[in-house]
Amino acid sequence: MEVMDNKKKIISFIVAVFLLVVVFFLGAVFGYSQRPAMEKISYIINKEPNVPKENIDFSPFWSAWSTIESNYVSASSTNKQDMVWGAIRGLVGSLGDPYSTFFPPEENKQFKEEMSGNFGGVGMEISVKKGVLTVVSPLKDTPAERAGIKAGDVILKINDKTTDGLSADEAARLIRGEPGTKVKLVILHPNETNTKELEITRDIIKIPVLDTERKPDGIFVIKLYNFSENSSSEFRNALRQFLESGDDKLILDLRNNPGGYLESAVDIASWFLPVGKIVARERFSSGEETLFRSKGYNIFTPTGKLPFAILVNEGSASASEILAGALKEHGVAKLVGKKTFGKGSVQELFPITSDTSLKLTIAKWLTPEGISISDHGLEPDYKVEITEKDIEEKKDPQMDKAIEIVKNWNK
């Protein structure tokens, strides 16, 4: 009898252990199935974000990733690393900043090659403005200018590819190519309803720095096309011509000048401003500012006595706006033409991995009085339009107004 009792105890113990194991197993399975979506994706490395701990919920991202993995019809053939690059693109795109761009490996390689060598193009500065790909300005004597492209044109297609959602850098890579090859663009001129399709032959783009012209009544005109590394020295030579000519009135034409080096803008402004005067403010996300000041060449003293007008339009951007804004606010020159483009931001290239990079806006340019160029552009002192009829009749009412202003400077 005692033996039977012992057997029953042993059997009961074994059953109890078995049930305990089953319960533990089922609990483990249930818990495993309910773990966060991020933990379900076991093959991903470096999942933990190396960022400050804030109230940011990453679970929707991992849930979406896990859902794609489990349900997307072509999940097995999807490149998972491309999904990561796409996620970073979306992250940058959420900033709503047309000048911030992520470069995955192939695009990063192309970007660096373009920055270090010659390439074929059509010769125009482009940007994304209010969500659409827009021409900042065509460059002088380039295929774009000869094809009739104008500042403010909207580019709708590039070689039958819609530009909707494209960044300016992505669009530029589609437009560029081997010299002698052709690119098709569908564009829409401002204030027109019908689109135009243009087929433009690419070429090596060589951009002139400036031209000078003497007009009657002692008026000297400097047409500055860009702010390149040679612009400062070329502008100095132009001023020498102005002084030696005996002319006493100056017009600086910055229309369709897309900008360039800040240093060139500061150097050129220094010919008209006393030492230490603010030319531009660089404001960072922290609110801190770096001030760029005149070097004080200031050969036209006292400031503001030189009859001086600056021509601007919707194609005047970046360094053009910095220079024009500084000389306007310091009372040196009057602005004539149309409101400027409004591109006043600073980008820096950050390496993300060994073969990818992020071009990110890190600061904004402000005028000496603290006006954001990106947010507002520059309003001219004298607003003057150029109509299609003016172009057909080869008239330039903006230049005519500038001439009138400098001729009547002290009246």
Pick the catalytic residue from 127, 318, 357, 374: 318
Radius of gyration of the chain (CA): 31
- 157 flagged as catalytic: no
Q: Which residue is catalytic, options 150, 249, 334, 343?
A: 343
Q: Which helix (H) or strand (E) holds 324?
A: helix 319-329
Residue 343 annotated as catalytic: yes
Could you tell me which residues are beta bridge partners of residue 335?
A: 310
Boundaries of every domain in the chain: 118-204, 210-407
For 78-198, where are the alpha helices, taking DSSP H only? 80-93, 105-116, 143-146, 168-175
Just give the CATH number of 118-204: 2.30.42.10
345-348, Cβ contacts within 8 angstroms, sequence gap of 24 or more: 345/97, 345/99, 345/374, 346/282, 347/99, 347/100
Model-wide pTM > 0.85 = no
> How would you write the pLDDT of the chain (411 residues) with one tens digit per residue?
554 555 555 556 555 555 555 445 545 444 544 555 455 555 555 555 555 556 788 889 989 999 998 999 998 899 999 999 999 999 999 998 888 999 999 888 877 766 555 568 999 999 998 889 999 999 888 999 999 999 999 999 999 899 998 888 889 989 998 899 999 999 999 888 899 999 999 998 887 899 999 999 999 999 999 998 889 999 999 999 999 999 999 999 999 999 988 999 999 999 999 999 999 999 998 999 999 999 999 999 887 789 999 999 999 999 999 999 999 999 999 999 999 999 999 888 999 999 999 999 999 999 999 999 998 899 999 999 998 899 889 899 999 999 999 999 986
Q: Report how far residue 335's alpha carbon sits from residue 325's, in angstroms, rounded to the nearest whole number.
A: 9
Strand ranges for 148-277 from DSSP E: 154-158, 161-162, 182-188, 196-201, 203-204, 210-215, 219-224, 249-253
**Active site (annotated) includes residue 318:** yes
- Establish whether domains 118-204 and 210-407 are of one fold: no
Does domain 210-407 fall under CATH 3.40.50.300? My reply is no
- Of the residues 69, 107, 263, 329, only one is catalytic, namely 329
